Structure 1
Amino acid sequence: MSGSEDARSRARRDALLRMLLWPKRRRLAAATALALLENVCGLVPPLLIAAAIDRGVPAAVDGRWAPLIGYTAAALATGLATASVKYCFLRYSGRIAQDLLFELRHRAFAQVMGQPLAFHEAYPSGRVVARLSSDVESVEEMLEMGLDGLFSALFSMVGILAVMLWLDQPMAAVVIALFVPLYALTRWFRHRSRRAYRGTRTAVEGVVQHTVEAYNGVRAVQAFRREEANARRLDGLDARYAVARADAGLVSAVFSGGVKLIGNLSLVGLLTLGVLRIDQGHLALGTLTAFLLYVHRLYDPIDELASFANAFSAASAGLEKIGALFVRHPAVAEPERPAALPADPPGGRGAVRFEGVHFGYGQAARPVLSGVDLALEPGRTVALVGTTGAGKSTIAKLVARLYDPTAGRVTLDGVDLRELADAELRGAVSMITQEAFLFSGSVADNIALGRPDASRAEIRAAAEAVGAHGFVSALPDGYDTDVHKRGTGLSAGQRQLIAMARVMLTSPRVLILDEATSSMDTSSERAVHEALTRVLAGRTAVIIAHRLSTVAVADRVLVIEDGAVVEDGPPARLLEGGGRFAGMHRGWLAATTA
């Protein structure tokens, strides 16, 4: 990764952290106060032990037990206070951590769902799944350690060093001197661990992406006997991940081992110096005991910091990956001041106009549409026909505002689509694609997808209107039947009828059908066409068709070639003209009778 890319990744990570942490700043401040109180309580017992050794024990030898009992009771009380405050801190910080994790998942998922179609067409689904699963899990692992590992360790180190300086400066100087190699070791760890964990996040992303793509394409995998090849590729990706994990583990092991070594050296140095100072009469035995206890407690939080730094390095790399999802700005942004569609426009609802529209996929791509001027009358059905790549689907996507034109404008009832709020546009324009997507859940839930508040009576009426009520009623649980993944238990025709029932329920002004019957058998297509006559009645419809039977329901046919309309008119008139549409018609007939 280059320096500029590294800086951008860190900037995205920091921006994401600010977005998550700033709204919870007051709760984090309260957690910090609890952690500080816990560590203040934790600093007292070694001092009490030192006093008990230097003053309580000699007094007890003389027969005065009160000082020793007092010091013991005070140590017990501070221990109980420390445990109580720690319990409160862990409960409170745990809720903050879970809220942060929920917020991260919610924001990342909402960001992905809000991205334009161009993002999803260019961004592999496996990579998105990796961002939302394994990268989020790396953050979860860090949060599971709790804020205790960070706050307690930092406060413990600062507090212990302050007490050491107060007790004996020469002894404290030995401890502080060993922080120089510890600082150098920490800087090395930060640099190497960041690079190592970036490698692990990239490697696991490859594993998840390959797994998701192989699973989604399992039919093609089995049809072309790609099982072994896919398994070999997964083995290679897993090996790459194992190497990356081993590299990260080595960095962590070197750092943890180095911290342990520095801690042991400090204990040896302190013990040697302490014995000499006791011998010279400059140090009491209780003070040396307190020092050794503090040093032991000092390197415990350093170990905790090492573990937290290790988890944070992994989470930081994950946050950099997740932050990449927030870089892309929607290509179809919401208007700052949305306009409203006229309730009763002159001539009827559903008038669509293309005014000098230019469009291309990507800045360097060849333009797909160049200066298209087109008017679709309200309540009429228009079929778009032409060869593959002519621009039919592009016109439909612009009507649905899945993309915005690079020049010109597309209007609905006189309003530029870019001026409409997304919610109003989605209610006014609906699309039925070749594969009607059904979500896991009941048939009723799938019909009510565009209107979750619809009553059961409205859902049934929509199904009856398209002729779907009969087969839905025959399902095991009727409208409550779970359709499972993508409606695999239903035929293609049944799935399309449910999709049309959705349209009837939302009652859009404009309906787009993108080869909605191309994958059906004759009987299923006939049932869907019967439903189409009811769905299309009274609304503007744009049909992308490759089948003659689909074109037959249209009032008007537009023949698209190289992004331009080369023929326009009623189907019968175009057939009589002997042009391109007539040639396509002859080709369809030859194909169906062959």
Structure 2
Amino acid sequence: MSVAGLVGLSSVVALASPFMLRAVLDDALPHGRTGLLTLLAAGMVAVAALTSVFGVLQTYISTTVGQDVMHDLRSTVYARLQQMPLAFFTSTRTGEVQSRIANDIGGMQSTVTSTATSLVSNFTTVLASVVAMVALDWRLTLVSLTMLPLFVWISRRVGDERRRITGQKQRQLASMSAIVEESLSVSGILLGRTMGRSPALVDDFARESRGLVDLEIRASMAGRWRQSTIQIVLAAMPAIIYWVAGLTVATGHPLVSIGTLVAFTTLQAGLLRPMVQLLYTGVEVQSSLALFGRIFEYLDLEPDIEEPARPTPLTRPRGEVRFENVDFAYAPGERTVLDDIDITVAPGSGLAVVGETGSGKTTLGYLVARLYDATSGRVTIDGIDVRELSFADLAAAVGVVSQETYLFHASVADNLRFAKPDATDAELHAAARAAQIHDHIAALPAGYDTMVGERGYRFSGGEKQRLAVARAILRDPPILILDEATSALDTHTEREVQAAIDALSTGRTTITIAHRLSTIRGADQIVVLDHGRVAERGTHEELMSKGGRYAELVTRDRTALTAA
């Protein structure tokens, strides 16, 4: 409201100048009234000063409000993306997501920041100018407004054209962002150079960039000739007014006085400028609708996994995990990944899940952490359905250590504190010692302040895995999901990481998704999955004595290790 008030006050104050100018030409100068002339001149200067002050205040307030709106929009989109299921991120390129937040929202900034103010300001100025022009002479006002419908029609056509081009341009920007994110990451650079594909990647990027250049030119030139026509007609309007007024003077019956004519054309100039701005703003708003559409595509997404309105509290969890007749499919109508899973994991015990690739092992573990929800049946912790728990309680109860360790481009200490932001240095060191990585960190020149590099590329695979274990130890969850945490490591490194994992697993309910079966012989219970169903279950000895699916997998694993 403060912006609208300033805009309205500024418009009204600015309208005083033409009337003072008429008084100067028709009264003060012809009659030699120097006192009135001085007063009118001072008033015109005061109007200019007040208008400038109002303009500065208006810019400050509108920019502050606009930036607050941009902040809320960015934060809302980011928060909504945080709620999206894993399936969304596995099917959407990271560069596309980054482009929506950076390019699309960034492209909306000028519209959000200045459009509302511009609309109010220009509309108020146009309305006040028309009223003042009618007060001066209604006949000249009608002549001035005859072309307005044509201008509006042209602007709408231009806006529609720019809206289409803007959508294409943002998709092109998203494609470029995806190329940059994928090919200029550490992994992308390594792959490109080792495969000799760096020149091809440069060509791909150049092609996308050239496409963006073409779209930028099209966007800039869209409707330019039509808008030029508007500018020509608007520039001719004062001349038409002078011509009409001049014809009446020649007949001996002047339509208006010289002062009124000059004041009218001054008002007309003040009318034409905001009118053009209004038309241009309309074009910008139509162009921005493409950006708003892309952003609201994300805001309109409904999370598959939502926090319960009234979560059941989970205090001092014992760590019992149950799968009760659980079925799971990634989408309705798709193949069932898990089928009628019924497993109980006692508090503090260890469950190992084995099977061929694609048998549903990882999905089973992710259901406990509620990265996915069961299609039917339920997964419980201490008898409480995980869908009834708050996200905070579930995250505190379940920790996940996966094969692909993710480290931020930050210090070692910051990466560890991601699990526990208020952890002391002593707690960091204790967790690192338990994970058998403290001595290595301490030997680095900057110790725990060492930057790990993008995705932790300054550390080996085994070191990153031990950092992940240390992070899990620091969080201290009663239930631990180990998703093939050692499968990508060599035998020596695997022993070191496995020792750290054994330390982490002590006293916790542990569900191990196993690839190398040598690491799970001591599990209290082993479940063999085959095409999403439980094919066998028992201890290592029991399953080996059966000579079934598990025994076959163990034999194959031994053969592979021997060959290696």
Q: TM-score range by the shorter chain?
A: over 0.9
For 1:335, the equivalent position in structure 2 comes to: 308
Contact 2:126 2:271 in 1 (8 A): yes
The one-letter code of the counterpart of 1:231 is V
* Partner residue of 2:390 out of 421, 424, 430: 421
CA distance in 1, matches of 2:164, 2:379: 48
Unaligned runs of 5+ in 1: 1-28
**For residues 428 and 277 of structure 1, what CA distance do their matches in structure 2 show?**
90
Q: Do residues 94 (structure 1) and 66 (structure 2) align? A: no
Query: How far did residue 240 of structure 1 move?
Result: 3.1
Q: Tell me whether 1:245 sits opposite 2:195 in the alignment.
A: no
* TM-aligned CA distance change 1:148 to 1:256, over 3 Å: farther
Partners of 1:209 and 1:310 lie apart in 2 by 29
What does residue 292 of structure 1 align with? 265
Alpha-carbon distance in 2 for matches of 1:557, 1:413: 21
Which one of the candidate residues 321, 327, 339 is aligned to 2:294? Answer: 321
Q: Say which SS state the counterpart of residue 81 (structure 1) adopts.
A: helix
1:127 is displaced (CA, Å) by 1.2
Give, in angstroms, the shift of residue 243 of structure 1.
3.1
Q: Is the 8 A contact 2:6 2:58 kept in 1?
A: yes
8 Å Cα contact 1:161/1:172 also seen in 2: yes
Does 1:516 pair with 2:497?
no
Q: Which moved more, 1:266-275 or 1:82-91?
A: 266-275
2:254 paired residue among 277, 281, 287: 281
CA separation in 2, counterparts of 1:514 and 1:278?
93
The residue type paired with residue 476 of structure 1 is P
Work out which of the residue numbers 19, 23, 42 in structure 2 matches 1:73: 42
User: 26, 30, 33: which is aligned to 1:54?
Assistant: 26
Shift of 1:551: 2.3
Q: Give the one of 223, 231, 238 matched to 1:260.
A: 231
Give deviations 1:158-204, integer Å, cap 9, x for gaps.
11111111110110001111112112112212322222222222222
Cα distance in 2 for partners of 1:430, 1:522 equals 25
The residue number in structure 1 matching 2:132 is: 163
Within 5 A, what are the aligned runs for 1:180-579? Answer: 180-216=149-185, 217-279=188-250, 280-343=253-316, 349-579=318-548
- Provide the aligned C-alpha RMSD in A: 1.9
Between 1:206-215 and 1:325-334, the stretch displaced more is: 206-215
Q: What SS does the corresponding residue of 1:559 show, helix, strand or coil?
A: strand
Distance 1:479 1:544 in 2: 30
Is 1:38–2:5 an aligned residue pair? Answer: no
Tell whether the 8 Å contact from 2:353 to 2:527 is kept in structure 1 after alignment: yes
Q: Indicate if the aligned counterparts of 1:354 and 1:409 stay in contact, CA closer than 8 A.
A: yes
**Displacement, 1:306?**
4.2
Tell me, what secondary structure is at the counterpart of 1:59?
Answer: coil
Q: Once the two structures are superposed, what CA deviation does each residue of 1:40-93 show, in whole Å capped at 9, x if it has no partner?
A: 111111221121111111122xxx311111110111111111111111111111
- How far apart are 1:319 and its partner, in Å? 1.5
Identity %: 32
Name 2:99's counterpart in structure 1.
130
Contact 2:324 2:379 in 1 (8 A): yes
Aligned residues of 1:141 and 1:311 also touching (Cα < 8 A) = no
Quote the offset at 1:511 in angstroms: 0.8
Unaligned runs of 5+ in 2: none
The C-alpha deviation readout for 1:464-483, integer Å capped at 9, x for no partner, is 22222211211222222222
What letter corresponds to residue 282 of structure 2 in structure 1? A
1:35–1:89 CA contact under 8 A, matched in 2: yes
Question: 1:358, 1:367 within 8 Å by CA — same for their partners in 2?
Answer: yes
Task: Verify the 8 A CA contact 1:342 1:413 in the aligned structure 2.
Answer: no
Larger deviation: 407-416 or 567-576?
567-576
Aligned counterpart in structure 2 of residue 173 of structure 1, from 130, 134, 142:
142
CA distance in 2, matches of 1:234, 1:533: 47
Partners of 1:526 and 1:313 in 2: CA distance: 62
Mean CA deviation greater in 218-227 or 292-301: 218-227
Q: Give the secondary-structure state (helix, strand or coil) at the position aligned to 1:384.
A: strand
Work out the CA distance in 1 between the residues paired with 2:470 and 2:127: 67
Q: Given the two structures, how large is their TM-score scaled by the length of structure 1?
A: 0.90
One-letter amino acid matched to 2:384: V
Distance (Å, rounded) in 2 between the aligned partners of 1:320 and 1:342: 44
Q: Report deviation, 1:538.
A: 0.7
Q: Cα distance 1:537–1:433, how it changes in 2: closer, same or farther (>3 A)?
A: same
Q: Deviations over 1:307-353 (max 9, x none)?
A: 43344334321121111111221111110110012426xxxx11111
2:159–2:287 CA contact under 8 A, matched in 1: no
Cα distance, 1:372 vs. partner?
A: 1.2
Report if the CA contact (8 A) 2:431-2:474 is conserved: yes
Tell me: CA distance 1:455–1:252, structure 2 relative to 1, closer, same or farther (3 Å): farther
Secondary structure at 2:29's aligned position in 1? Answer: helix
CA contact (8 A) 1:255 1:306 kept: no
Query: What residue is the counterpart of 1:16 in the other structure?
Result: none
Q: State the shift of 1:145 in Å.
A: 4.8
Q: CA deviation at 1:146?
A: 6.3
- Whether the 8 Å CA contact 1:510–1:540 is kept in 2: the answer is yes
Report the Cα offset of residue 255 of structure 1: 4.5
Structure 2 counterpart of 1:167, one-letter code: L
Structure 1 range deviating more: 65-74 or 138-147: 138-147
Give per-residue Cα distances to partners, 1:369-402, cap 9 Å, x unaligned: 1211111121112221111111111101111111
Within 2, Cα distance between the matches of 1:403 and 1:278?
A: 84
> Cα offset for 1:368?
0.8
Shift of 1:114: 1.9
Q: Which amino acid aligns with 1:559?
A: V
Counterpart of 1:223, as a letter, is: T
Q: Secondary structure at the match of 1:516?
A: coil
Output the CA distance in 2 between the equivalents of 1:329 and 1:335.
15
Number of equivalenced pairs: 559
- Contact (CA 8 Å) 1:409, 1:416: kept in 2 or not? yes
TM-score (norm 2): 0.95
Output the amino acid matched with 2:135: W
Deviation string, structure 1 residues 244-270 (Cα, Å, up to 9, x no partner): 323322224235313202302322321
SS state at 2:373 partner:
coil
Q: Distance in 1 between matches of 2:444 and 2:71?
A: 37
Aligned 8 A contact 2:245 2:255 in 1:
no
State the 1:362 CA deviation: 1.2
Instruction: State the SS of the aligned residue for 1:450.
Output: coil
Which residue in the other structure is 1:15 paired with? Answer: none
The secondary structure found in structure 1 opposite 2:222 is helix
Per-residue deviation, 1:141: 3.5
